[in-house]
């Protein structure tokens, strides 16, 4: 539904607000009996979110269940909020993998750069926003938690398809 913005001029002289109050109440009552009202009874009902929604991260895994991350270091390098911690490791065959990979979802600004830059399409911002916690520490998602996420991932903006159609 399109959202309209109505700009009201501030009155310059003393005015009575009774008329405005009555018209406001009339509008409220009109909405109470409107069969097309848009109030969403969250959390029982949820408003559908855009395929481009950038929310809680998710680390994708390969067919063996291992994280797809090769610890290249690009995502912590590009992250403007400096909220990705990566400690790289290397196995005996010289393959790099993350020893520690953490994202502080509380500091993250959900710009999506980490997803855009990742050469392995490992880290993704996700179509998910219900990640409330009781402490700040609870917002630091480690690799295990990032790979355990199952929500759909964000479809990034495509310049060839600017309206996402």
Residue nearer to ligand SF4 on the CB measure, 73 or 164: 73
What is the distance between the alpha carbons of residues 147 and 114, in angstroms, rounded to a whole number? 15
CB of 46 to ligand SF4, least distance (A): 22
Residue nearer to ligand SF4 on the CB measure, 16 or 143: 143
Other beta carbons within 10 Å of 102: 18
Residue nearer to ligand SF4 on the CB measure, 95 or 137: 95
Length of the chain: 165
State how beta strands 84-90 and 96-104 pair: antiparallel
Rule CB under 6 A: which residues touch ligand SF4? Answer: 69-75, 78-81, 83-84, 86, 103, 108-114, 117-118, 120, 122-123, 125
Residue nearer to ligand SF4 on the CB measure, 120 or 142: 120
Largest Cα–Cα distance of the chain, in whole Å?
Answer: 81
CB of 31 to ligand SF4, least distance (A): 37
What is the token pair recorded at 59? 């680390």
């Amino acid at each position: 539904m399109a959202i309209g913005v109505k700009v009201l001029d501030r009155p310059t002289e003393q005015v009575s607000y009774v008329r405005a109050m009555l018209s406001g109440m009339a509008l409220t009552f009109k909405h109470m009996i409107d069969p097309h009202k848009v109030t969403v009874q969250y959390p029982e009902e949820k408003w559908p979110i855009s395929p481009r929604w950038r929310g809680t991260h998710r680390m994708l895994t390969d067919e063996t269940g291992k994280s797809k991350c090769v610890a290249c270091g690009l995502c912590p390098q590009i992250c403007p909020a400096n909220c990705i911690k990566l400690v790289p490791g290397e196995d005996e065959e010289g393959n790099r993998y993350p020893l520690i990979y953490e994202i502080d979802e509380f500091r993250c600004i959900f710009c999506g750069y980490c997803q855009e830059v990742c050469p392995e399409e490992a880290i993704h911002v996700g179509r998910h926003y219900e990640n409330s916690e009781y402490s700040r520490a609870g917002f630091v998602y480690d690799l295990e938690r990032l790979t355990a996420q199952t929500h759909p991932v964000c479809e990034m903006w495509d310049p060839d398809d600017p309206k996402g159609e």
